[in-house]
Structure 1
Amino acid sequence: MNKKWMIQKKFLYGFLFIFSISLILLNIVLSNMLYKNSESIIITEMKNTKTYSREYIKQHLLLNNLTGNVFSNSGNHLAQELSQNLQSNVTLYDIEGTFLYEALGGNEYVIVNTIPSQMLQESSEQDLQLALDNKAAYTINKLDKQWIVNFSYPLHVNGEHYGIVRLSKDYTPLFESNQEVVTSIILFTLLLFLIIFLFSFVLSSKIIKPLTKMTHAFSEVAKGNYSVSLNIKTGDEIEELNDRFHIMKDQIKEQIEVITTEKEKVIKLEKSRREFFNNVTHELKTPLTTISGYSQILAEDNFNDPEFLKKAARRIHSESDRLHQMVVDVIELSKQHSNEMKKVDLTYIVTQLCEDMQLKAAKYNMTLQCKKPEQLTVYGVENRLLEVIINLLDNAIKYGENNSSINVSLYSQSNNAIVQVSNRCNHFNSSILSNAFEPFYRGSKITKDEKGSIGLGLYICKQIINEHQGTISIVEEQGLITFKISLPLRQQLGNM
């Protein structure tokens, strides 16, 4: 259940985190903007106050014809009048920065103090220090729940320095107004967040609920229950996912059915193959029994029956052809299953095939001459190599001249086993040299009573030799055609 709610939790917690950060940043940025705006208002007012107070003091000095140490002599009256006119506190200092008088205005009556008030004592003196350096400056002071602004400037009239004028004013309503704005915006933002949070919670719940159903449906499909059904109608991507689920479920069901059908076919095929081999084994016994029976009768010392001899010869020939065809079929079938590489006695294969094919060559007064070969062993598939040698010897008999010899040699050269088959051809075509190993190519005519091929024999031979990492080639010299096969010796492949 925790996993099912994980997306919703991540969504809501992530939203809460982002909103909290945004709210903090909003508060900082908004407070800073309002504070800057308040500073701008204060600066403007202070400049106007400075201009007014300076002109007022200047006129006061001219009208009363005052000179010298005016702030010390009559500063109390000047501070009182200025405070009453400006509706703010006015403090006068001499040119050394010594406190003289403080007029507390803003009410109907003005109070003049000869010692700094507590508010003045708690305020920063940074503006006063700058005024002593002949600069106008202000400081904003947060005193308990009040915001007090002190503005100080040096007073110069007609080039004479009279002292420092310090104006103090309470800007608490301005800053409280700013705080009210910030608070109002934050409250509005919180309300907006609450609405969005509730909407997100409801929306995520509506998303999680169909996803939970789909999770259950997927689990059922994983168990093999393809009858499970979903009916989600949301009109959005989830509904589309619902439709895709049914398509996927149907496709999986179809694929399972196909796999099951194919599996049954494979089992049936394997059964058929076993039956085939059993039948082949049984069928081989029949021609062998016949041939063996007739051979035993013909081998008897007192046998002298010409008619039976003819009958036996025909029957032995017929059964031999039948046996040959069955063996060829078995070899063709076994090639699909017996492709495991192993040690092959190439010398034995070549010599045995030369002896076997001699019977066919004798029909055309041809002789198969196999030079005494070296004892050579290669690494390969015996049936495949048999097919190559049989094909070359059969071609030499089919296309060779009658009353000629077919020379077969086997020797080693540069760590390779070499097999050569040479014969003379009645109808040699020069295109044979470049096209002999092309599929479906037939370059010579058969003058003997032999069935022609479809031109795949030499092509298959080349493929087999390539599979054994060897080469096969054909050369012609004065009517003598020679096929040459080169195969790596077994030791060279590292298979001891």
Structure 2
Amino acid sequence: MLTIRKKYGILLGFIFVLSVISLNLIMDKFFDKSFKDLVAQDMKEIYNISFKNLDDYLALNSIEKDSLKEEDFDSKIMKFIVERVNAQGVFYDIEGEVISTGLTNSSVVDLNIFKDLPLSFYETKNNKTMLDIENKNGTILGKLSIPIYSSNNPLGVLVLIKDYTSDYLRDLNIKKLLNIIVTSLFSLIFLAIYIFSSGITKPIIVLKNKLLEVSKGSYPEKINNTSKDEVGILVNSFNEMTEKLKAKDQQEKNFYRNITHELKTPLTNISGYAQILNEDDFNDVDFKRNALNRIISESNRMHDLVMSLLNISKQSSDLEEYSFEMVKIKNIVQELIEIRNPIIQNKSLNIITKFEIEEITGNKQYLKMLFNNLIDNGIKYSYENTTVEIQIKEVDRICEFSITTTGKTIPIEFKEKIFEPFVRVEEKGFSSKESSGLGLYICKNIVIGHKGEITLDLNKDKSKFIVKLPKD
């Protein structure tokens, strides 16, 4: 399997080779054009000087240009033509036979160059001056073929030849040097890009391996991350995700362990009393009555526990699909208070309500369950002859519901844990044994489903539960 790093390396290698080849082709074309332009410009100057020399020679020797003959182009006139241009000259008849030559330095000239006609020689018959650049065994020659006429009759072709090998080699060395510099620079750039990309792909590879561990059910250690770019954000998100999954997994294990414990206790009690009652010689009427009451009590406790678990299960499936509507929370709270009026009167509680808003957007069923649990707990754990204050107000488009009670003290260490499942306060002066330990956990889930938050403020024997929900 090709990894990201290998794919990136192959892609970079392909781009590198393609870039170098393309650059070399561009440089070749550039230097070829530059060299041809140099030869063309130089040959143009040679052409101008040579024809001026020809005119001077004809004037000095009183020869009319229109009366030139083929035999006039002897070695003397040829030498005179080329002596100031640092070039060699050769005059061919129209059939390509050498008539005469003009040498500026015969000791360094390979006379074989005169044997080969220029490539464009025969095109000069159309009265065209042609330039050829030829490579003869490593020697670069510029050949300018000029048709010569007398009285509109072709006499032959004057070919001016110059050696440009030194210029060509100079350009070639410059091109090679530039190729080395550019290739080295490209190599460094692509090496830097590859190293940089490896730095990006390395955490991705680590992340892939860690994800494989998570998919197998294990939770790896956090990935060390010093990057602040998108990959760094991805790594941080992964670390946060694994921590949350680990915590949730542990929470679920504790949850099911607690369920087992909570179900086992009443079942054990029911089974024990049932076995005693089933004995043939059992005739204790008082014990029988107490046992039956205990069986009913434990059955009710199991029923409440099962109903709470069903609510939690339903909440889990409904959490992302709550159907929202306008809910008159003032009416719901007033109704819940009225239902508990006998308990309120029995404990001589003073209920104070303050409603600044009457309705919000939410799920009516779950909001009623939320307020029911909070109001029920508030009344249940309040001291007699105390005040219960229930308030609903709006703060920055947020609906804030609060219930403040004076009663059994909740230890400060339970302030955050009290919203976890199966957490019950068993302290001196406070007992919640009759509770399933799931009520506030259900409340928290309902609040989360409404994208809100629930908190608890403690001040000695005063407790204040605060629920903040989006109003719209």
TM-score, L = length of structure 1:
0.47
* Higher-Rg member (1/2): 1
